[in-house]
Structure 1
């Protein structure tokens, strides 16, 4: 596997073009509805766009991002990554500060990026700096999903969570890690589950802070009928999909139609992504309680400068074709830890996971939402350390 160091360098003319487009935004007419009821609030969006155009400093964000040890690898060229031969993968590889760091691959989702792990990396790689035991340090590998940020989109169809898991297994093996753990939320939770299901010989265990909505164990109503908690969960999941899941249905069915406009309009991109940071986080309806403008715009800028909003949707299409459906009696060998945050978009009961997985650790968090690594890095890091301690022998 060939690996090269990587540094972010956005051309100056790309920054100038972004500012020009922001200042030339053709604003949609407001509708007679309460703020946020029908999507992104116009007043909030105008304020964010003005800040992006005139105050946000991409070069400062770029310098901070480049403090992370980043690399580009050609993964799967040996023909061993599930058919995804020759896929280039951008990743952060930060070594732990401890006597024997444990290897962990963490995977982001949409509308996130590797940037969302910046605070979590500090806590996982150097726990002593945060009052934790240095023996609990990790070597963390944080790849960008194919089609996200600096990882090019796959050249051929078929890159679902299962194929990405094959890539990650090959990447970790190429980095010298024969056994490792995995962690993820959103799309990254799907990749972590696929790693456990397909690569149990290498994956010790997985830690999740989200359960993919396509996860579905086979139900034997005679042997193990649905519990009342499970029935409530399935109803709540269906209600959420009907009222809040329009974005996902668009991504999974007509991604290129949405991409044509979002890749051309930074204001449209800010509305599409920013609304999710508000709706899915533990912010009480005020985004800035959880995410500064600079943090939100760094994530947005990564999508904008790489032109990756359309390709980031592709995985929704692929996952729709290859959902997580488990057969009767099918079990996944590596154990699972689950951190359930109160403002997450779904709240599965423990029994729903235990139909397929061994779940030795379950944590109901006191606060936090979908973007746990950004919202509550201390809580998430402590839960990850606690779970993987068992594999450090």
Structure 2
């Protein structure tokens, strides 16, 4: 496994590409109303919400504003080969953000996103983690990669790039490319699954891990009568998602090319598809619709939507492994952030079956994208967990 051709890059798109996206959006008509009368959000995205999103995208969204936010921190591309020169080689380009703290004792922190998120999910928390105003608060060297197939990270052309492949890639990024002997990680969605594998396979380098999504079967030690209000809400949200929110999962798992190409062809299709997921999986009182527009723009302009959904198919080989505490137990201390609008959360006892769970923090606001809809508490809890346990693994 080797890295080569590390480059500091500037993120920019041609004015014509941006104008083309917005022109296509404007030329795409919405129906006059919902197909049928139905309770809001029960059958998909709410018409009035999508209408407002579309109008805002067309009239007030700004690439210049988004570009300034992205360019505030250093962006890099690096090439990666698993077996260079061999027929079994997997080759890709990896995009990542790397921001080092001025603190000598800063903790190396890997932040992993999922779908339909991007590396930009974490843009609101970088400065607070890297340069806390309180000198007694822990500081971090922050590394945020784009998963292969997302944004500027390419997906290997050969089939078989699994979640374990991602786990090896990101461990190699932290240790071989960036030179961190040990580090900590935080992840949600696919980032959670990948980080769990990393914490299981690489305990000598992944010192601590923190999750905000956690797939866990019911544990014999779990007693529903003793659940807290947040735990009961997490279970209810998980059950609701399982029965009425997973249609996209089966489609992307079995026919990712079909849905990927169809959605990638239209900014309006992407706005409806991604917008429904981000809204439904977030705290509606805390969600900023601007985050949806920025996310859609990054997918559309980078041309990465079709490759982003392939992970649902290629990652399925590791699904049983992740959910088995005996196979994929977490070797070092870990924590969980319980945000009430999470769609795949779990009670403390179920998560504790996977290892030494030393931190289970309940929050009153926030959802599947907590660094977007509850950045302040995301920062505070991340500091609290890693600050308390780093060096005491």
TM-score where L is the length of structure 2: 0.88
Contact 2:80 2:92 (C-alpha < 8 Å) held by counterparts:
yes
C-alpha deviations, 1:157-195, integer Å up to 9, x for none? 222322111000110111010111111111111111111
Contact 1:102 1:137 (C-alpha < 8 Å) held by counterparts:
yes
C-alpha deviations, 1:327-377, integer Å up to 9, x for none? 648633111110101111133111112212110111111211111001111
Secondary structure at the counterpart of residue 57 of structure 2: helix
Matches within 5 A, 1:351-370: 351-370=349-368
C-alpha deviations, 1:36-72, integer Å up to 9, x for none? 2321122221222222223211122112211211100
Q: 1:117 aligns with which of 114, 122, 126?
A: 122
Contact 1:344 1:368 (C-alpha < 8 Å) held by counterparts:
yes
Aligned to 1:391: 390
Q: Distance in 1 between matches of 2:363 and 2:89?
A: 37
Aligned to 1:206: 209
Aligned pair 1:290/2:287, yes or no?
Answer: yes
Matches within 5 A, 1:52-63: 52-63=57-68
Task: Note the C-alpha offset of 1:75.
Answer: 2.6
Q: 1:319 aligns with which of 315, 320, 343?
A: 315
Task: Note the C-alpha offset of 1:204.
Answer: 0.3
Secondary structure at the counterpart of residue 192 of structure 2: helix
Q: Distance in 2 between matches of 1:277 and 1:311?
A: 19
Q: 2:345 aligns with which of 332, 341, 347?
A: 347
Distance 1:327 1:184, change over 3 A: closer
Q: Distance in 1 between matches of 2:239 and 2:284?
A: 24
Q: Distance in 2 between matches of 1:59 and 1:138?
A: 28
Aligned to 2:30: 27
Distance 1:14 1:100, change over 3 A: same
Distance 1:348 1:93, change over 3 A: same
Q: Distance in 2 between matches of 1:280 and 1:330?
A: 26
Aligned to 2:113: 108
Runs of 5+ unmatched residues, structure 1: none
Q: Distance in 1 between matches of 2:374 and 2:193?
A: 21
Aligned to 2:370: 372
Runs of 5+ unmatched residues, structure 2: none
Aligned pair 1:267/2:251, yes or no?
Answer: no
Q: Distance in 2 between matches of 1:100 and 1:328?
A: 35
Q: Distance in 2 between matches of 1:44 and 1:330?
A: 41
Bigger mean CA deviation after superposition, 262-271 or 383-392: 383-392
Q: Distance in 2 between matches of 1:238 and 1:379?
A: 25
C-alpha deviations, 1:291-340, integer Å up to 9, x for none? 143x3211110000011111111111122222013264863311111010
TM-score where L is the length of structure 1: 0.88
Distance 1:236 1:376, change over 3 A: closer
Aligned to 2:161: 159
Task: Note the C-alpha offset of 1:226.
Answer: 5.8
Distance 1:260 1:86, change over 3 A: closer
Task: Note the C-alpha offset of 1:84.
Answer: 6.4
